[in-house]
Chains A and B, each alone.
Chain A
């Protein structure tokens, strides 16, 4: 995907995202958010983010690899500890990348 088509992608992302942001601010007084929906939405970030992270750590070059040879998994576990303690994106990246480089150079 190159050139003009990435702009179509950005616009499609943005239009939907704006609609989500505006949704209940616009609908205020007309429609209330149903409780079941409010309840389900609480779980969106944890679920989606885990679905992005887990495969990226346990797959190495397209194959499942949960051994000590998988440096992404090892560095990811180190990063996860930092993420758990700090909840900070920058520190997690710094520690995880340093581990990734160190393990890769062994």
Chain B
């Protein structure tokens, strides 16, 4: 028990620096939700239920444009496909844990908790890697939810004339540059983004799904052509 607590706490402690990025993002998601007309309760509820910021922002933008719900749901799933990668990487460290205990922490799996945990495991695997991961997940989840509540309360104070909807593409820009790691990801971004401009006229924002798919295909193709060169 003692060593599990220790690993839980060191997972939480190692996540402290990254909270500086988590808190503003939680705040932004709530403010964005308020700006498209959701109530503070709905804004906080969205962060609580979904707990995946990038997909929440994407859906809020689509909601503001009056998109049909099926496209919003599909967009969420496409953006969150990356979690299957995290899931596959973390699986060996969680295999001895009971399923019911894993569920709440799996729900709260975030890019940041994955990053902190896998960086640690690559250097040194703690005695209870699952508990290290739980510690990281927990502190990130609490920080996110507190900032989401604060954002929901502040959001109502911000007038529409500020043009805060422009914060959506800006936040996606920052996330996009963080996702660009080599030439092949640059190709994926250029083809995905370029296609999206060309097919913007398609109904129900279906162009977004089409553009994303072509961008992914272009990235895979570019990587093959370049033989995985950086």
Interface residues of A (CB under 8 A from B): 1-2, 5-14, 16-18, 20-29, 32-33, 37-59, 64, 72, 75-76, 79-80, 82-84, 86-93, 96-97, 100-101, 104
Query: In the complex, are the beta carbons of B197 and A47 less than 8 A apart?
Result: no
- Rounded to whole angstroms, the CA-CA distance of A18 and B55 in the bound complex is 13
Query: In the complex, are the beta carbons of B84 and A20 less than 8 A apart?
Result: yes
Interface residues of B (CB under 8 A from A): 21, 24-25, 28, 37-38, 42, 45-46, 49-52, 54-56, 58-59, 61, 63, 69, 72-73, 75-88, 90-92, 94-95, 99, 102-103, 106-107, 109, 162-164, 166-180, 184-186, 188-197, 200, 207-208, 211-212, 214-220, 223
Query: In the complex, are the beta carbons of A13 and B193 less than 8 A apart?
Result: no
Known contacts A22-B106, A96-B170; is A48 also within 8 Å of B192 by CB? yes
Known contacts A48-B215, A56-B169; is A89 also within 8 Å of B174 by CB? yes
Instruction: Please tell me which one of the listed residues B80, B172, B179, B220 contacts residue A17 in the complex, with CB atoms under 8 A apart.
Output: B80
CB distance from B82 to the nearest CB of A (A): 5
Query: In the complex, are the beta carbons of B197 and A89 less than 8 A apart?
Result: no
Instruction: Please tell me which one of the listed residues B51, B69, B162 contacts residue A5 in the complex, with CB atoms under 8 A apart.
Output: B69
Query: In the complex, are the beta carbons of B191 and A20 less than 8 A apart?
Result: no
Query: In the complex, are the beta carbons of A21 and B107 less than 8 A apart?
Result: yes
Query: In the complex, are the beta carbons of A100 and B166 less than 8 A apart?
Result: yes
Known contacts A25-B87, A87-B177; is A10 also within 8 Å of B50 by CB? yes
